[in-house]
Amino acid sequence: MLLALDARNGSLTVGFRHGNAWLPLTRLGVNRTEDEYAFLLNAALDKAGPGLRPDRAWLSSVVPGLTPVLKEAVRLAFGLDVTVVGPGVKTGVKIRVDQPAELGSDLVCQAAAGYALAGGACLVVDFGAALTMAAVNGKGEFM
């Protein structure tokens, strides 16, 4: 089972993917300690499905200061190392932009999910704190 964490300015979304289905999402605030997040991650897992346990964890974070806190919280809660989405991490989407290092991991994750769900070219629009769009062509390339 996959633990997916999406850390943005002001919020953290926690999701568990079991088989081919996403279990209920949990949204948490920010500015907590590793121990608090570990406790809340266990509570989110209990809410999602008692008796389940993640075997891998991925983190998309646009809040650099929160990344080490969440990595430690996942280690405390589940004993897992976290894969942080960033340059060099294989997501299934090739990055074809002029400045790939400036592309947020949130956009990369959205593009990968959109491409997987659509089964081909797609445009993903996010109406979060900012309106963003991610375009993926039929070859699975982020444009």
Give the relative orientation of helices 34-48 and 67-78 as an angle to the nearest 10 degrees.
60
Q: DSSP letter at 89? A: -
Question: Is the separation of the CB atoms in 109 and 6 below 8 Å?
Answer: yes
Question: Is the separation of the CB atoms in 2 and 57 below 8 Å?
Answer: yes
Active site residue 35: no
Name the active-site residue from 6, 98, 106, 126. 106
In order, the DSSP letters of 35-82 are: HHHHHHHHHHHHHH-TT---SEEEEEES-TTTHHHHHHHHHHHH--PE
Catalytic annotation, residues? 106
